[in-house]
Amino acid sequence: MSSAACTETIQPLETLPEALTGRIEEKVAQASTALAARPIIPLVVGQAGENENSGKTRSKTVVAITICASGLNALLASLVIITFPTIASDLHLKAELLLWPISVYSLTCGCTLLLLGSIADAVGSRPIYLAGCLFQTAFTLACGLSRTSAQIIVFRGFGGVASSFLLPSAVSIVSETFPDGKQRNMAFAFLGGSQPVGFAVGLLLGGLLSNSIGWRWGFYLASIVSGGIFALAFWALPKRDQKRSELWAHLKHGIDWIGIVLGGASVGLLSYAFTTITDNASNITKPGTLVTLILSVALVPAFVLWVGRQERLGKPAVIPNSLWRNRIFTSICVGLFLTWGAATSSDSYQSLFFQKIQDLSPLQTSLRFLPGVVSASLSTLVVGFLAHRVHIGWAISCAMSLTAAGILLMAVIQPQWSYWACAFPVVILSPIGGDALFTISNLVITSVFPPQTQALAGGVLNTITQLAKTVSLATSGAIAGSVTSHSHHDPKTSPSALMEGYRAAFWYFFAMACTTILLLAWGLRGIGRLGLKKM
């Protein structure tokens, strides 16, 4: 993309994707033929109506399957979180591998998002999405069948790769199906709203299964749902007509392979380093962790120099440097990183508060998160509905202020307080800003990338969220662990000592939320309304 495409105010694309334009022209031609023949063959009108209804049905199905992809990804994440103690006990996970069934998923997903997003743009979203459904079905089932700690870790890792097939292609499918405007805004709102719903369903399902037929059935049920999504996607997603010679030419010359390797390696090494720190903050002093961290940082300038060269030569660049000169794009990316890290990590510490401090069961904990599903889903829908009507900068500032207020309440909460006195408003307020900003980020990031690289745009978006979660959990874990270790309460595993560390983590998340509010107040000035057509 040239630097001229990156203006201070992001404007929606004026042209539809080529494949969609072709389908519209074909429909117009069919309609003209039908009108001309109407006196002779009256039934053509009815047939055209049936085709129109079929097209609407397929569009609704497209929205449904993309929602399911995002929701199922969140469901699996929360399912593992809530059933993790039982999984660790049944499979005899060693102390040094204790968090890897959770961490390895984000690690492998973050490493491969840019790669698979670029490949999806080359070969088409349909085959990549279908392949992702098959891989997710297989590896989710394999997680349920695991009998050793090594098996669950390996299969969860491959499950993260399967998500890299699904998440970028889902963003591309929505962009290809709906033009700029209210329909696209609402489609992305549903896509964002599926995450809190999926997360809550996973929590509830995990809590129920842990106390009944066992955690394995959570994976079995998720694999069945994934198989159903594959069947729907096979029917609903349109095929792309592309010659094999054109495909190979695009794969060879239309993808920034070196940039993808540099960017993916940097993200992967950084994620690995922070994952080991999450397990134990003292691991940062180990040679392996230090080398990994240094290499990940060293690859950043190499990546910047490479994509700058590509852009100067007019060649494909995975993330052109000119994009970062766009104030709105940069503010959205940084704001999403801070907000998503604070929101997801805050959820994890809220779960720890309920279970470790208030001594609640997994099922009781999951039930306490359910009101947040309603608020998070409503926030994404409201943003989707109002994005083309109101100043989006003010809307996001209000949503982030509510999130900051919720996190602040957790920083001052007392263990003896009832759920309704403080935790309930926390659960309601905390997810609003993150989920609203995720919807806006989808709209903004896909608007600055060209139509032929929408899956790559989805890869960039999801790479930010995966990395944000990893870094936030590691840094907050180091803060909480340090505060707990210096607590005057003994033993250090007592609820009183743990609560001091949790409270410090919540203050850290509150600072991140406040920073995001200030950043977006400056960065989103002048953004106006999203999804409006130019007159």
Q: Going from the N-terminus, what domains does the chain have, and what CATH number goes with each?
A: 46-523 (1.20.1250.20)
**Beta-carbon contacts of residue 418 (< 8 Å; ≥ 6 apart):** none
**Beta-carbon contacts of residue 174 (< 8 Å; ≥ 6 apart):** 62, 63, 66, 184, 187, 188, 191, 442
Residues 517-535: pLDDT tens digits? Answer: 999 888 887 776 665 443 3
Helices 100-123, 125-145: crossing angle, 10 deg rounding? 160
> What distance in Å separates the CA atoms of residue 512 and residue 507, rounded to the nearest whole number?
9
> In 3-state terms, what secondary structure has residue 255?
coil
Percent helix, strand and coil across the chain, each to the nearest 5: 80, 0, 20
Q: Which amino acid is at 266?
A: S
The answer to whether the beta carbons of residues 69 and 198 sit under 8 Å apart is: no
Q: Which residue has the higher pLDDT, 183 or 522?
A: 522
pLDDT averaged over every residue in the chain: 81
Q: Which amino acid is at 289?
A: T
The answer to whether the beta carbons of residues 438 and 383 sit under 8 Å apart is: no
Q: Which residue has the higher pLDDT, 5 or 488?
A: 488
**pTM for the model:** 0.79
Q: Supply the pLDDT for residue 37.
A: 36
Q: Supply the pLDDT for residue 35.
A: 31
Average confidence (pLDDT) over 180-199: 80
Q: Give the CB-side neighbour count of residue 299, counting CA atoms within 13 A.
A: 19
> What distance in Å separates the CA atoms of residue 113 and residue 211, rounded to the nearest whole number?
35
> In 3-state terms, what secondary structure has residue 286?
coil
91 pLDDT above the threshold of 60: yes
Q: Supply the pLDDT for residue 351.
A: 84
Torsion of CA 378, 381, 386, 387, to 10 degrees: 130
Q: Supply the pLDDT for residue 55.
A: 55
Phi, psi of 317 (to 5 degrees): -125, 130
> In 3-state terms, what secondary structure has residue 230?
helix
Q: Which residue has the higher pLDDT, 143 or 56?
A: 143
The answer to whether the beta carbons of residues 276 and 112 sit under 8 Å apart is: no
Helices 18-36, 149-177: crossing angle, 10 deg rounding? 50
The answer to whether the beta carbons of residues 442 and 387 sit under 8 Å apart is: no
Q: Supply the pLDDT for residue 145.
A: 92
Torsion of CA 379, 456, 112, 79, to 10 degrees: 20
The radius of gyration computed from the CA coordinates of the chain, to the nearest angstrom, equals: 24
Residues 443-495: pLDDT tens digits? Answer: 888 888 887 788 888 888 888 988 888 889 888 988 998 899 888 888 878 88
Q: Which residue has the higher pLDDT, 179 or 320?
A: 320
Least confident of 2-16, 167-181, 241-255: 2-16
Q: Supply the pLDDT for residue 530.
A: 60
Q: Which amino acid is at 475?
A: T
84 pLDDT above the threshold of 50: yes
The answer to whether the beta carbons of residues 316 and 117 sit under 8 Å apart is: no
Residues 224-251: pLDDT tens digits? Answer: 999 999 998 888 887 776 666 677 777 7
Residues 273-300: pLDDT tens digits? Answer: 888 887 677 777 888 888 999 999 999 9
131 pLDDT above the threshold of 50: yes
Q: Supply the pLDDT for residue 79.
A: 87
**Nearest Cα to 120, choosing from 176, 81, 168?**
168
Distances (CA, A) of 149 to 34, 131, 146, 330: 63, 26, 8, 40
Q: Supply the pLDDT for residue 207.
A: 80
Helical (H) or strand (E) element with 94: none
19: pLDDT confidence band, cut at 50, 70 and 90?
very low
143: pLDDT confidence band, cut at 50, 70 and 90?
very high
Average confidence (pLDDT) over 43-51: 38
> What distance in Å separates the CA atoms of residue 168 and residue 187, rounded to the nearest whole number?
15
**Nearest Cα to 97, choosing from 109, 107, 105, 88?**
88
> What distance in Å separates the CA atoms of residue 369 and residue 364, rounded to the nearest whole number?
9
**Nearest Cα to 219, choosing from 84, 106, 95, 351?**
84
> What distance in Å separates the CA atoms of residue 335 and residue 431, rounded to the nearest whole number?
15
Phi/psi region, residue 94 (left: phi>0; alpha: psi -120 to 50; beta: rest), is beta
